[in-house]
């Protein structure tokens, strides 16, 4: 916790009572907070090298430039600053669109102050961890290789099938979750709760759709996946080196198309 005290945070929020309420409470926790009342001003402040913000709290519904657009512009420019998106929209589609745009976390309004502060600390700690890993070694949060692919978690890019591919924050979050559990079956409920931050019982095809995207990007033959496998009626499994892993079960071979539906 102490390593995040003093961190510089930008709140991009057009509702002044919310913006100044967040500022007051975060400054009481020891953070340095500035406010931008629209997306364009927020981008200008972030791009100013003198500011060096370590976290952005970004409202979705902003005048002129939406939070989605601010997110996309930041990620397109290669800026990997952690982003916490705030919105009154709570549908799964809204969360997914936010993650696709590049946000790290999504918090719905009205929110609990303690949860906001907890998420802020979590994202700041994650930012510190990524920085240390990138500076010290070939840690998996910085770079990961499997098959003929190379994933760069800092640049939001991957080299796959001899092409450079841009990845979204949610795709990277899903990849990181699989990589950390390499060889283990993970359930749909796990992914919804830990990657999408949604109730595990929610009826959505999002995991299948994203797995299909990963196969198209990384598998030499997406119709016969070797790395991103579907385990019938259970979940999914990531295998970095199919030759070194145990032989896939018959259910692996026959059921990978479940994720293509």
Which domains are present in the chain?
2-136 (3.40.50.2300), 143-260 (1.10.10.10)
CA dist 27 → 4, 103, 112, 151, 155 (Å): 12, 23, 17, 36, 31
Per-residue confidence at 135, pLDDT binned at 50, 70, 90?
very low
* Cβ neighbourhood burial of 9 (10 Å; 0-12, 13-18, 19+): buried
Highest-scoring range by mean pLDDT, 62-66, 103-107, 132-136: 62-66
Whole-number pLDDT of residue 49: 80
As a whole number, the mean pLDDT across the chain is 81
Per-residue confidence at 5, pLDDT binned at 50, 70, 90?
low
Whole-number pLDDT of residue 3: 53
Per-residue confidence at 4, pLDDT binned at 50, 70, 90?
low
**pLDDT tens across 150-204, in order?**
888 888 889 998 889 988 888 999 999 898 888 788 898 889 888 888 887 888 8
- Quote the percentage of the chain above a pLDDT of 90: 30
Segment 52-76 shows an average pLDDT of 90
Per-residue confidence at 147, pLDDT binned at 50, 70, 90?
confident
**Can you say whether the dihedral through the CA atoms of 218, 224, 228, 233 is positive or negative?**
positive
Segment 49-76 shows an average pLDDT of 89
Whole-number pLDDT of residue 206: 84
Residues 134 and 143: their CA atoms lie apart, in Å, by 8
pLDDT at 258 over 80: no
If one counts every other C-beta atom within 10 angstroms of the C-beta of residue 241, the result is 12
Whole-number pLDDT of residue 261: 38
Segment 144-153 shows an average pLDDT of 86
pTM of the model: 0.54
Query: Hey, is 28 helix, strand or coil?
Result: helix
Q: Which of 135, 116, 112 is nearest to 124 (CA)?
A: 116
């Amino acid at each position: 916790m102490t390593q995040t005290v003093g961190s510089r945070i930008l709140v991009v929020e057009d509702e002044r009572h919310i913006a100044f309420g967040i500022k007051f409470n975060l400054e009481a926790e020891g953070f340095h907070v500035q406010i931008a009342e629209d997306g364009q001003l927020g981008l200008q402040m972030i791009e100013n090298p003198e500011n060096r913000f370590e976290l952005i709290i970004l409202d979705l519904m902003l005048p002129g430039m939406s939070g989605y657009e601010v997110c996309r512009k930041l990620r397109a420019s290669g800026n990997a600053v952690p982003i916490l998106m705030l919105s009154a929209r709570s549908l799964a589609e809204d969360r997914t669109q936010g993650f696709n745009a590049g946000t790290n976390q999504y918090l719905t309004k009205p929110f609990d102050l303690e949860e906001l502060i907890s998420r802020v600390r979590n994202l700041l700690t994650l930012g510190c961890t990524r920085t240390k890993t990138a500076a010290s070694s070939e840690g998996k949060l910085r770079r990961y290789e499997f098959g003929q692919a190379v994933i760069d978690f800092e640049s939001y890019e991957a080299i796959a099938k001899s092409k450079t591919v841009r990845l979204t924050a949610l795709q990277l979050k899903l990849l990181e979750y699989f990589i950390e559990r390499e060889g283990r079956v993970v359930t749909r409920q796990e992914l919804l709760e830990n990657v999408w931050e949604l109730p595990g019982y929610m009826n959505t095809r999002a995991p299948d759709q994203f797995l299909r995207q990963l196969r198209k990007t990384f598998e030499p033959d997406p119709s016969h996946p070797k790395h991103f496998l579907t385990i019938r009626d259970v979940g999914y499994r990531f295998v970095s080196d199919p030759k070194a892993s145990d032989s896939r079960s018959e259910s692996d071979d026959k059921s990978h198309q479940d994720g293509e539906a």
